[in-house]
Structures are given as structure tokens and as C-alpha cells.
Chains A and B, each alone.
Chain A
């Protein structure tokens, strides 16, 4: 806890998320009152700009600048959208904020609406978060009842209403232009920018879209001042960031740290190293758009620029810790499989390029890799990046490129030696019972889902490698360590 600075998570785990009174007791909606009573819209924008807050959804665009662009765009009807789609596998920062402190997001949205001159807001939340939807609906009803949203709120001449739109399982709808299409009732497919949403967004009107975490920062910044926020962080990356520690971390969960903290402090000190006790090998940051950063670069400070320089991206905050039992080819395959599945299909290079890349990776993991595969993989990766319209295609090759950059030897071992050092890729490993250690208890045979183990009681059992599906259940079942994997 000592290394953390909980700004976004200030109320999470402290207040009852279903109680407006709790939120008010914790200082809730005071920022909104201050803004409505005391701060003209431009001043609000200037304060947010001065704080240095950058979009926490992953792209890191300066929030105040974005708000200013929306404010300056001509038009009487403008919108505020909260992107609560959180599609990255392993990320749950936004989910926790929505479930634990929904009013902070609502308050941030209303303040944004006031600043840019919008009267309507939408929270686009993924349907896979039913509890978040439930708590948001409750919070909105409570806020409306007490006049924190709605017409003539708090008796100031300002109207703002918020409604919820649920996603329907499409990762691409986390991309802002596809998200807006989805709200408009169309198939979620991205479009070219410019024009940017701040100029022409939802139904062609100026729209400000921000991530959940970005909005949750706003009330705190307004109450405590921009300078209280920008003392944290680095020169270009101010404030704090919430990370979801997952994977093989010993202490998985949510942490909020000042920007600039070295990766190793998050992983080894706050995260407690690996849960398995095996050596820390790498972290995966930024979800399917991100990349792996090897343990050798664990001194890298966590800020937008430094992380981008490694080849990965900061992303929305998913931080997956990997140890020696993680296979880098397998990781690349996992993420590429995801993005390939989620590609909307509009751009040929994304639609087909990622598919061809997947085929190559599956060949490599299956022990059928060829010499020319790596060069082809890299060429495809570069082309997909260049020829894709939206962030999904532009970043889908990142996991492949970063694993190739830092762990090329693993790919080569898979291709030339048909070996998976991490013992993960099923086609390249075999499980074997060590006869000296096996007392013939038959437990493994009982649990084997493929009926691949046989033997006589009190005599060493053996595994039929033809039937074996490499699930590893036998090894984890055996209490005597008599099963090993090559």
C-alpha cells in the first residue's frame, strides 16, 4: 500500500457503492457544485489541462486539450460518452471503479458536459459487466432524484442527462468511432479520422469520449487542484495510473501508482513477485494492443513514452506477469487469436493479414515451423500495422513483434529444434511417468480425461503418448512428483 497513491480508487472498498449518502460523505458532488457555482467552463478546461491528465484508456491523449476541441466545435447539441467497454483480456480496472464508485464517473461526466457545452451523456458499458450495469443504473437513479443530473441541476441553469448503452461482446466497439456507430444502432465498424469525434462524432455532432478512469480522476482534480495532481508522475505523464495485476503475480489485484514508478517495483514489491516461485520472465502490458517487456528491462519507468519505446504500450492498465513457464510463442498466439477473432473485417490487411499470421504461429507452435516463417511473420506484421484503419489492426501485430524482438530464440527453438522451453506448446511436449518414483497408486489414471494412463496396481504406470492430450492434469494430481514433462 505504501507505494500506491489512490486517487481514482479513493472510494473503492471504502464506501458502499449503492449508497449516495456514502458518496456524499466522502466529498462526492462537491466538485460539481464548485464547478457550477464558481468556475466558468473555460476555467474547468484549463484546470484539467494544467493537471496533465491524459486519456487513461490507452492512447494517452491530453484530456484538457480534447475537451477544449469539443468546446470550440460549433454546434448546439454536443455529447459526452464514457467508454466503459473494457475489452482487454485480463483488465478489470474500469469494472472495479464502476462497481465500487459509480458516482465518481457520473460526476466526472457531468463536469465534462458542463465544460464542453453538452446536455446529454452516454455510458457505453459492456454487457459482460452486469454488476457494473446494475450499480450504474442505481447510481443514475439516485443522482437524478437528488438533482445531480437532469434538468436545472442543483438549481443552476444547466441540464445534463445520462443514459446507459450496453455493448454486445465486440472488442472493436471499444474503439471510439466503432463505439459511436454502435450507439447509433449500426454495426460497430471504425471509420477514418479526421474528422475526430470532438468535431464530428455521435450523429455527426461534437462528442467528447473518455475512459472510465479518466472521468474518475476529474472530481478529485477539481477539488484538490491541478497542482495537487501534477506533482505526481513524470514530466510528460502526470498523475497516477491504475493497473490490474494478473497472470502469475503473487498478489493479483488492483493497484494505483504514480506514473514513473519502475516496472520492477510494481511486479516485485507491490505484486510480490511470481506466485509460482519461478523466475520473473516478462510482463505483458496493454492487452492485445500491447507487447511484452522482458524482465531485463524491468527498470523501465511506467510512463507513456518510456513504455512505447520498448515496443509495447501503456494501454488501459492490464499488467500480466509471466514466469518461466510462460511460452512467448504461446502468448503471441493467444493475443493474435483474440484480435483475429475480433477484427471487424473492414480492412483487408487486418482481416486476412492477421489470419495468415495466426496460421504461421500455429504451425510454429505445432512443431511444423519453417525457416522462412519468421521473416514472413515480420513482413506481414509491418504491413498489417501500416494498412489498417483503426487501432485494432494497427496494434494487433504488437504482441508478435515484441516477442520476436525480445525472445526470438524461443521462436527459433520451436522451429529448428521443435522444442518449447516453457513446456507449454502441446504438440512439442510429452508427459512421462518416472518409473522409479511411481508406486502404482492409479490416481493419475483415474483423473486422465483421455484414458491415456494405464498400469497394474503397485507397479509403475505409463502414459500412452498417442492418446495423451497434454493437459497436464496427471502431473498436478500426482502427489509424489512422479510425473514429468519434456
Chain B
């Protein structure tokens, strides 16, 4: 699931919602998958934990901010889907659409 927004950021930043709602939905596994994925690809991209984004029904939430300033939210992320986010969005610059 894909939602778009706009914000000014200088680098790639990946945020994962890790409050109780996110963790209960499996957020730590997604975090681990992202951490492994970024490390395996040698990507120097900031991975940040955040708190509750409010859209608890869509957890696990992952937010990707690109250097140009665009913001993409992924909802209901499963650890298996992280691979696609890393290769298609972070490396090739194209957000994943379901």
C-alpha cells in the first residue's frame, strides 16, 4: 500500500514506526529485515525508529524520504516485502506499488 506526501529532506531516510502498535504488528522483524537489507547492499542510508504515526490500522508502517524531498509511506509491510523496497525504491529510485 502506497501513500504520498511532501517534505524537505537532504538524504534518504527510512523510518519504521516502533511504538507498541508497530511492534505488536511485527515492526521489529521489518526493522531487522531493513537493517540486513541495507547492510548487505552496503547502502549508507539512515534507518530511524519513530513512534506512533497514528495510522495504527496500517501497521507496520515504513516511511521513505528521498533526497529530492518526496515522502512515501508503506503500510502493512511484511518482512518479506522489505527486499523489494530496498532494491526497487532505495536503489533504483522507484517506489514500489502493490
B55 touches A253 (CB 8 A): yes
CB distance from B44 to the nearest CB of A (A): 18
Grouping DSSP codes into helix (H, G, I), strand (E, B) and loop, the B interface class, with mixed when no group exceeds half, is mixed
User: In residues 32-71 of chain B, which contact A (Cβ within 8 Å)?
Assistant: 48-58, 61, 63
CB distance from A9 to the nearest CB of B (A): 6
CB distance from A96 to the nearest CB of B (A): 4
Partner pick for A12 among B48, B54, B57, B58, CB 8 A cutoff: B54
B49 touches A96 (CB 8 A): no
When distances are taken between beta carbons in the complex, the residues of chain B under 8 Å from A376 are none
Mark interface residues in A293-324 (1 if CB within 8 Å of B CB, else 0): 00000000000000000000000000000000
Binds A, one of B15-23, B78-86, B89-97: B15-23
Partner pick for A13 among B20, B23, B50, B57, CB 8 A cutoff: B50
A96 touches B57 (CB 8 A): no
Mark interface residues in B1-24 (1 if CB within 8 Å of A CB, else 0): 000000000000001010111010
Mark interface residues in A3-27 (1 if CB within 8 Å of B CB, else 0): 0101001011111111000000000
What CA separation (Å) do A54 and B63 show in the bound complex?
A: 34
Q: Is A101 located at the chain interface by the 8 A CB criterion?
A: yes
What CA separation (Å) do A446 and B23 show in the bound complex?
A: 33
Partner pick for B51 among A12, A251, A253, CB 8 A cutoff: A12
Among B15, B50, B61, the one with the most A-chain Cβ atoms within 10 Å of its Cβ is B50
When distances are taken between beta carbons in the complex, the residues of chain A under 8 Å from B48 are 16
B21 touches A96 (CB 8 A): yes
What CA separation (Å) do A12 and B52 show in the bound complex?
A: 6
Mark interface residues in A96-112 (1 if CB within 8 Å of B CB, else 0): 10011100000000000
User: In residues 466-484 of chain A, which contact B (Cβ within 8 Å)?
Assistant: none
What CA separation (Å) do A101 and B21 show in the bound complex?
A: 15
When distances are taken between beta carbons in the complex, the residues of chain A under 8 Å from B55 are 251, 253
B50 touches A253 (CB 8 A): no
Q: Chain B: interface residue count, which band?
A: 10 to 19
Partner pick for B20 among A14, A95, A255, CB 8 A cutoff: A95
What residue of chain B has the Cβ atom nearest to residue A271's Cβ?
A: B57
B51 touches A101 (CB 8 A): yes
Partner pick for B50 among A6, A14, A255, A256, CB 8 A cutoff: A14
Partner pick for B56 among A9, A131, A250, A252, CB 8 A cutoff: A252
CB distance from B95 to the nearest CB of A (A): 19
CB distance from A463 to the nearest CB of B (A): 34
A254 touches B20 (CB 8 A): no
B57 touches A99 (CB 8 A): no
User: In residues 101-151 of chain A, which contact B (Cβ within 8 Å)?
Assistant: 101, 129, 131
Partner pick for B53 among A13, A92, A252, CB 8 A cutoff: A13
**Can you list 25 residue pairs at the A/B interface with Cβ under 8 Å?**
A6-B54, A12-B19, A12-B50, A12-B51, A12-B53, A13-B15, A13-B50, A13-B52, A16-B50, A17-B19, A17-B51, A92-B20, A92-B21, A95-B19, A96-B20, A96-B21, A99-B51, A100-B52, A129-B20, A251-B57, A252-B56, A252-B57, A253-B54, A253-B58, A254-B54
Contacts A100-B52, A252-B56, A253-B56 aside, 12 further interface pairs with beta carbons under 8 A come to: A9-B52, A13-B15, A13-B54, A15-B50, A16-B50, A17-B50, A92-B21, A96-B52, A99-B19, A99-B52, A251-B58, A253-B58
The 8 closest A-B pairs by CB, nearest first: A100-B51, A13-B53, A253-B56, A96-B52, A254-B54, A99-B19, A252-B57, A17-B51
